[in-house]
Chains A and B, each alone.
Chain A
């Protein structure tokens, strides 16, 4: 039996209760809305891009603890990164959540490895990756995305 503590790690719960960069950004240069029709989770990700780098990122919306904490920690992880770097980070994060982490995942993902427990809960992978899909859509200039 998988332990609930592996999924609901302290850091995840803390971020879900007090999400960082949880605000609208009217001055954002890009934004996208992500929606998981299965559970109704809905987030908007706001980006301010300068040159090729993510100068500012914030999010708003509602969802479960996993999706909200993931969005919060994502904003911290990608701030200051280039679109390409953020894309690689998402790829690495996705592999972590689906139980196929890169060998150097710890170094690549840092604190985000706290989501490794998600791989034991296949139904929750979409929760953990919703904000990332939304970020990806915003970077690609799409207005909305869904996890279906």
Chain B
């Protein structure tokens, strides 16, 4: 048995204290303490988030932007306060640039349908990368097919890093949009987004950044990145499912047609003509997920309180420790060895299918993801059908990495 160092990270981040904030982590699975290493799929929720949602339903529930009564005013205030929280979270210039969506997938689809359909013409190109999640491929395929445009993917190398030179050469006068993930969900690669934006902007090409795997792990500053759209999901940043944020530069959003029609996105409707509401409401048709927004606000407050720099430093240390210890396991291959990585450790083990690894680990209380991670082109690049993926969150510890390693050793025993 290995004796792990006590899990207090260098930056003074108190992981044991943070763990106590997450009720779900106290349980046992198959008689073993839960070791939750599937954070790239969804993160667990701190009590602050759960209580904020209860509090909303018990004390504030009402529709927003409509009623003149007390509860509606309260709900509207809380809802709009979260917009300002999200604005600060991304360092956006203006709260009007923050649109609440269901999640990253809807954020991308909104831009594809609204910006894409009004800007992409026959013969045009949309540029993505070879490490995108299906949700940053398929929406662009839909637009490309409809517009007889071409979807191109910049290649990645065998470490799982973007080939920046090839990327630069693939942008040209036909390119109408670049869509890139900030952090790869399958590989953990952190893309040089700031540099990519510079390159794209030198061709006057706007850039959308899929921030689903970045927002939980690092401070995001959309003005410093210079990107035109940035989107992330609440549930991966310790908030509820079904809510996310799309940031868009106001100048672009103003020109874009609505994504969905309905209530709240209009100023006036007659059968002849509808006048659309101003930003951001133009893009928020219908009664929104108000409780989700309240929960998201509590989640952002929570990670802000802990500090994203501290969280990121703690997770980097965990990732380094896990990479070192797992690399020592015979037959284990790490998929994705980029120099700059965040949170994700994808691997295969010789002669053991990832699905079998997943089941054997689960029996020992260790939750990981197995499969293609909605990134089939990435799997094809590495010549694998699937990988096992451990992904870390702020509450994970080195002791849990040790449990993961013991569980993998158990899998190797079963298949010996």
Name A's B-contacting residues (CB within 8 A).
Answer: 1-2, 4, 7-8, 13, 17, 38-42, 62-66, 68, 121, 123-124, 127
**8 Å CB contacts to A: which residues of B394-416?**
410, 414-415
A2 touches B363 (CB 8 A): yes
B359–A124 touching, CB < 8 Å: yes
Which 9 A-B residue pairings sit nearest by Cβ, starting from the closest? A64-B353, A64-B355, A40-B385, A1-B31, A1-B30, A40-B386, A39-B355, A65-B356, A64-B356
Interface string of B368-385 (1 = CB under 8 A from A): 001110001001000001
The one of A7, A13, A66, A121 in contact with B415, judged by C-beta atoms closer than 8 angstroms, is A13
Instruction: Report B's interface with A, CB cutoff 8 A.
Output: 30-31, 351-356, 359-360, 363, 370-372, 376, 379, 385-386, 410, 414-415
B379: chain A residues at CB < 8 Å are 40
Most chain B beta-carbon contacts within 10 A, residue among A38, A40, A123:
A40
Q: Judging by beta carbons under 8 Å apart, are A4 and B414 in contact?
A: yes
Q: What's the minimum C-beta distance from B261 to chain A, rounded to whole angstroms?
A: 32
Chain B's closest residue to A36 (CB) is B355
C-alpha spacing A7/B385, complex, angstroms: 22
Provide the residues of chain A in CB contact with B359, threshold 8 Å. Answer: 4, 7, 121, 123-124
A42 CB to nearest B CB, Å = 7
CA distance A127 to B353 in the complex (A): 12
In the bound complex, how far is the Cα of B355 from the Cα of A44, in angstroms? 19
Q: Which of A4, A39, A42 contacts B370 (CB 8 A)?
A: A39
B335, chain A: closest CB distance, angstroms: 14
Q: How far is the CA of A124 from the CA of B359 in the complex (A)?
A: 9
Nearest neighbor of A5 in chain B, beta-carbon distance: B414
Q: Please, how many angstroms separate the alpha-carbon atoms of A124 and B31 in the complex?
A: 20
Cα(A80)–Cα(B371), bound, Å: 36
Contacts of A38 in B (CB 8 A): 371
